[in-house]
């Protein structure tokens, strides 16, 4: 008999591949965007300190506040300082927020925190961890989705409910949370160094609400998300959504500073009706180190489309148990090393090579995992020599 995981991964793989093929064959400009994006990201990785400085200047120029956080504690402390006495917080889906343990940390500090992405909300109420870099609740079948909704949020939902009924239930629950929120926290798909513009791709509408409804918007994202120009950031949004199997995305959000108006004598006044403050926290947490490692720097090219997961035999069996959430699966094992220094999960890679074939950034994932195996073994050898 098939396990819940077998059913979930089979269904997701069957949905992803045709959607990606259809986007790539119907919209030929995506290929052009992809190759330009590769060049743009390489430029940043080769000169990261410069681009971090430039991005922070640009964020400030458009009225935002920018920080570089060196590690998890630094990022969490800065976010808590910004939040201050305010309590009601909504989160947009962000693997970096999970990387720094943000939801848990804020709850421990007495805040009322709610995820606004459907999958993330399901994980929150079920007390589970992401199993995929973007389809975070991939391990849950529709039946369990319904069961958990019934148990934790809405007694009207049961296992016979349709997907639309479940979506309606979540929608009604979240509408209230958007209304009450004092702080909205999101990640970023890309941030442009020349304009300080944060770009976010989504389908649900929750990101748009999280970035606009509360009076304060905080962005927490990795320095690897920096691209040189706003055009590059738009390219990233197109390529990411196409390879994630959701092109065209319902929404692409561009945020350059707090809300503003030019309606009074053409003078730019901030804020207007949207947020009055925008804070951008750029997280290092191992990324700068990786950018100076000739092998690991390639991993920073990842745009988190999640496609490599569907071509990996090891992930299809182990799921989120290969690596550590949110960085499980083929790209996750590389990212687990970058952010925690743990190279042990690389030993499970069988080097089938499917991940490399389907990656829009042509990242040699098996080659990097082989390098991590070598690092792990040579580390063990030097440890035993020391003894
Ligand atoms: S490694 Fe490539 S395929 Fe995998 S998530 Fe990153 S960009 Fe997508």
Q: Is 265 in the same domain as 294?
A: no
Task: Say how many Å lie between the CA of residue 331 and the centre of ligand 1.
Answer: 6
270-285 burial: b if 16+ Cβ within 10 Å, else e: bbeebbebbbbbbbbb
Per-residue pLDDT of the chain (387 residues; tens, 9 = 90+): 888 888 888 888 898 999 999 999 999 999 999 999 999 999 999 999 999 999 999 999 999 999 999 999 999 999 999 999 999 999 999 999 999 999 999 999 999 999 999 999 999 999 999 999 998 998 888 888 899 999 999 999 998 899 899 999 999 999 999 999 999 999 999 999 999 999 999 999 999 999 999 999 999 999 999 999 999 999 999 999 999 999 999 999 999 999 999 999 899 899 999 999 999 999 999 999 999 999 999 999 999 999 999 999 999 999 989 999 999 999 999 999 999 999 999 999 999 999 999 999 999 999 999 999 998 887 766 665 544
Q: Give the CATH number for residue 340.
A: 1.10.1060.10
Q: Is 179 in the same domain as 99?
A: yes
Ligand 1 atom at minimum distance from 303 CA? 7
Please count the other Cβ atoms lying within 10 Å of the Cβ belonging to residue 176.
Answer: 10
> Does ligand 1 lie within 6 Å of residue 121's CB atom?
no
Are residues 114 and 121 in contact, defined by beta-carbon separation less than 8 angstroms? yes
pTM, whole model, 2 decimals?
0.95
Place of tokens 């969490």: 76
Instruction: Examine the fold and report which residue of 226, 256, 286 is the final residue of a domain before the chain moves on.
Output: 286
What does the block give as tokens for 310?
A: 């569907």
Instruction: Examine the fold and report which residue of 286, 315, 340 is the final residue of a domain before the chain moves on.
Output: 286
Q: Is 180 in the same domain as 325?
A: no
Query: Which residue owns the Cα nearest ligand 1 atom 4?
Result: 308
Instruction: Examine the fold and report which residue of 246, 261, 286 is the final residue of a domain before the chain moves on.
Output: 286
Q: Is 177 in the same domain as 207?
A: yes
Ligand 1 atom at minimum distance from 365 CA? 1
Q: Is 295 in the same domain as 281?
A: no
Q: Is 293 in the same domain as 206?
A: no
* Pairing status of strand 183-186 against strand 88-91: parallel
Task: Say how many Å lie between the CA of residue 244 and the centre of ligand 1.
Answer: 9
What is residue 91's three-state secondary structure?
strand
Q: Give the CATH number for residue 85.
A: 3.40.50.10420
CA distances from 146 to 12, 95, 140, 141, 151 (A): 17, 24, 10, 9, 9
Task: Say how many Å lie between the CA of residue 306 and the centre of ligand 1.
Answer: 5
Q: Is 378 in the same domain as 329?
A: yes
Beta bridge partners of 77: none
Domain that holds residue 349: 288-386
DSSP tag of 53: H
Could you tell me which residues come within 8 angstroms of residue 80 by beta carbon, excluding any fewer than 6 positions away? 105, 106, 109
Tell me how far apart the alpha carbons of residues 216 and 287 are, in angstroms, rounded to a whole number: 27
Nearest to 365 by CA among 288, 299, 304: 299
Among 247, 328, 359, which residue has the most ligand 1 atoms within 8 Å of its CB, making it the best to mutate? Answer: 359
Task: Say how many Å lie between the CA of residue 332 and the centre of ligand 1.
Answer: 9
Our count of domains for the chain comes to 2
Task: Say how many Å lie between the CA of residue 304 and the centre of ligand 1.
Answer: 5
Are residues 181 and 106 in contact, defined by beta-carbon separation less than 8 angstroms? no
């Amino acid at each position: 008999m098939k396990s819940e995981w077998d059913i979930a991964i089979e269904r997701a793989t069957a949905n992803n591949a045709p959607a990606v093929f259809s986007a790539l064959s119907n919209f030929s400009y995506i290929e052009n965007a992809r190759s330009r994006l590769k060049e743009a990201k390489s430029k940043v990785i080769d000169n990261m300190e410069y681009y971090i400085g430039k991005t922070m200047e640009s964020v400030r120029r458009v009225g935002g506040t920018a920080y570089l956080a060196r590690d998890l504690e630094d990022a969490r402390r800065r976010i808590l300082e910004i939040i201050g006495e305010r309590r009601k917080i909504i989160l947009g889906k962000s693997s970096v927020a999970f990387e720094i343990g943000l939801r848990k940390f804020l709850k421990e500090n007495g805040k009322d925190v709610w995820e606004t992405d459907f999958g993330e909300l399901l994980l929150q109420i079920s007390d589970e961890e992401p199993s995929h870099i973007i389809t975070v609740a991939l391990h849950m079948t529709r039946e369990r989705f319904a069961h958990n909704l019934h148990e934790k949020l809405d007694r009207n939902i049961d296992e016979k409910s349709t997907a639309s009924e479940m979506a309606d239930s979540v929608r009604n629950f979240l509408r209230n949370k958007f209304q009450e929120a004092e702080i909205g926290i999101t990640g970023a798909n890309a941030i442009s160094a020349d304009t300080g513009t944060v770009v976010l791709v989504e389908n649900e509408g929750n990101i748009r609400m999280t970035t606009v409804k509360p009076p304060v918007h905080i962005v927490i994202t990795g320095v690897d998300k920096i691209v040189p120009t706003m055009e590059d950031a738009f390219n990233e949004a197109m390529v990411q959504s196409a390879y994630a199997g959701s092109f065209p995305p319902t929404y692409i959000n561009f945020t350059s500073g707090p809300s503003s108006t030019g309606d009074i004598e053409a003078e730019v006044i901030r804020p207007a009706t949207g947020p009055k403050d925008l804070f951008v926290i750029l997280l290092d947490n191992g990324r700068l180190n990786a950018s100076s490692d000739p092998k690991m720097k390639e991993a920073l090219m990842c745009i988190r489309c999640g496609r490599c997961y569907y071509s990996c035999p090891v992930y299809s069996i182990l799921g989120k148990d290969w690596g550590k959430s949110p960085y499980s699966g083929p790209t996750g094992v590389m990212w687990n090393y970058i952010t925690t220094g743990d190279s042990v999960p690389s030993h499970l890679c069988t080097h089938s090579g499917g991940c490399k074939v389907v990656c829009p950034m042509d990242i040699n994932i098996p080659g990097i995992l082989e390098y991590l195996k070598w690092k792990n073994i040579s580390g063990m050898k030097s440890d035993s020599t020391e003894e």
